[in-house]
Structure 1
Amino acid sequence: MPAPTGGSVAGAPQVIGDLAVIPLQSGPKGTPITYRTCGAWNVAAAAGLKAGVKVSAKDGALVAAGTADALPFGKLLSDTLNGYAEVLIVQ
């Protein structure tokens, strides 16, 4: 699928429309990108997030659910540690 406005960064959580994805490549708007829509991924996450909580994606990282301008993404499988956490994509 083509990268949306703003492009895509490989490995950074992103929401396109209502679809939570992990891009497998990077590219600017319109570049054909392969996205994964399921599975568990170790990605950038805000400090203090705990395993089991719902999270959203904002600016290529996970943030607490309900954060302004963030979009629902999934549930954490691990606590945030050193700026990363494991997340399960939930559509």
Structure 2
Amino acid sequence: MALTRNDVVARIAERTGNPATEVAATLTALQELLVESLREGQAVRLTGLMTVERTDRAARTGRNPRTGETLEIPAGHGVRITAGTALKDAAKG
């Protein structure tokens, strides 16, 4: 079962003693910062936790699975999230 945004806000508020509204505002600010940074092509590194960066995808030729027709897929961007040491260690158990 995954934690929802509300679950995360409630748990952080409980651990820090800050009101849930402040925690929610902080998460919203983090989200806005990530979006803005990725739009500008900047990576965001949270040492030990994760790195979030924009990646470039080259144009390529694809195939329609229904018809078999080839089509050109334009170049674009994606997002890469790399786990930091703390996340990798937590995943190991």
Give the TM-score taking structure 2 as reference length.
0.20
TM-score, normalization: structure 1? 0.20
Larger RCO of the pair (alpha carbons < 8 Å, separation 6+): 1
Greater percentage in helix: 2
